[in-house]
Amino acid sequence: RKEVEQDPGPFNVPEGATVAFNCTYSNSASQSFFWYRQDCRKEPKLLMSVYSSGNEDGRFTAQLNRASQYISLLIRDSKLSDSATYLCVVPCNFGNEKLTFGTGTRLTIIP
């Protein structure tokens, strides 16, 4: 199993819809997880951290399922400005100092 796997998409979703991405990881000892957002030709920026079962921030909810080793990101009432690539990030197999980035899921919100 790869350290982290994401569905690359693209996801094309109408404005106002709800969209969810999943990400699976292989390191069962991982403690902290992150979702990053990356706009075209820009650097990745931290969107949410997930340390326990889940985290909610406005329209965004991140959930963690340790038993099945996946994390998910849910976006409600999607906006045009949510169009971006979303990167799933987990600690690497050899310690928490290094993070492993997924290749990203591309989301386009359609007017």
Partner 1 sequence: DVKVTQSSRYLVKRTGEKVFLECVQDMDHENMFWYRQDPGLGLRLIYFSYDVKMKEKGDIPEGYSVSREKKERFSLILESASTNQTSMYLCASSSRGAWYGYTFGSGTRLTVV
Closest CB to partner 1 among 30 and 78? 30
Touching partner 1, residues 29-58 (CB under 8 A): 32, 34, 36, 41-46, 49
CB of 23 to partner 1, least distance (A): 13
Closest CB to partner 1 among 11 and 34? 34
Comparing C-alpha atoms, which of 57, 107, 50 is closest to residue 82?
A: 107
Alpha-carbon span 21 to 107, nearest angstrom: 10
Torsion of CA 62, 92, 65, 1, to 10 degrees: 120
Q: Which of 40, 81, 97, 111 binds partner 1 (CB under 8 A)?
A: 97
Q: Which of 5, 93, 99, 106 binds partner 1 (CB under 8 A)?
A: 99
Closest CB to partner 1 among 63 and 103? 103
- Which of the stretches 12-20, 60-68, 73-81, 98-106 binds partner 1 when contact is defined by CB under 8 A? 98-106
**Own/partner long-range contacts of 98-104 (Cβ < 8 Å, ≥24 apart):** 99/34, 100/3, 100/4, 100/25, 101/4, 101/36, 101/44, 102/4, 102/5, 102/6, 102/23, 103/6, 103/8, 104/6, 104/8, 104/38
Q: Write out the residues near partner 1 by the rule CB under 8 A.
A: 32, 34, 36, 41-46, 49, 87, 89, 91, 96-99, 101-104
